Amino acid sequence: MSASELQALSMAAVAAVLFALVGAGFFALAFVIMRALSPFSIRKEIEQDQNKALAVLIGSVLLGIALIVAAALEGEAAGAPVTTGGLGWGALLHGLVVSVLFALVGLVLFGASFFVATRVLPFSVRKEIEEDHNVALALVLGAVNVGLGLIVAAAVRG
């Protein structure tokens, strides 16, 4: 392996770690926001009640964020194969900024879609998720989150 290939692989490893940290940071931020806005204890629902419906919803938000962050990394590395050293510090920084901005857009969209669902649906979303553990509803709302994540990820790629 040549020195340039080793340097390119090192840069790719650094990029993977930095983007993973951005993703983990947004996972934590999403969870803090969900806890703050939730009318019930998310911790109790997950730990004690093992609420699968709520777990599906939370998981869908995290998956949506992961799609967005991965698209930002992919967008920066596109056309610049790791073995040629194409991913430099400038592209890496740009990708991190894009990742942060679009992850914020994703969080806003996830929140807005949930807000709209609670206003449009003819039943209490809170009751269905918290009390009835309605996994079917959670899957539908989760699919909306994943779909929004895919749409934002496509926007990241241009």
Residue 84 banded pLDDT, cuts 50, 70, 90: very low
Q: What is the pLDDT of residue 1?
A: 78
pLDDT, the chain, mean: 88
Encode pLDDT of 10-64 as tens digits.
888 888 899 899 999 999 999 999 988 888 999 999 999 999 999 999 999 999 9
Encode pLDDT of 92-131 as tens digits.
888 889 889 999 999 999 999 999 999 999 999 999 999 9
- Cα dihedral 24, 27, 32, 37 in deg (nearest 10): 170
In this prediction the pTM is: 0.84
Q: What is the pLDDT of residue 123?
A: 96
Q: In the chain, where are the structural domains located?
A: 3-157
Residues 6+ apart with CB under 8 A from 106: 64, 65, 68, 148, 149, 152
- Measured between alpha carbons, how far is 9 from 6 in angstroms, rounded to an integer? 5
User: Which is more confidently placed, 73 or 63?
Assistant: 63
Contact between 30 and 107 under an 8 Å Cβ cutoff? The reply is: yes
- Measured between alpha carbons, how far is 16 from 9 in angstroms, rounded to an integer? 10
* pLDDT reading at 75 higher than 60: yes
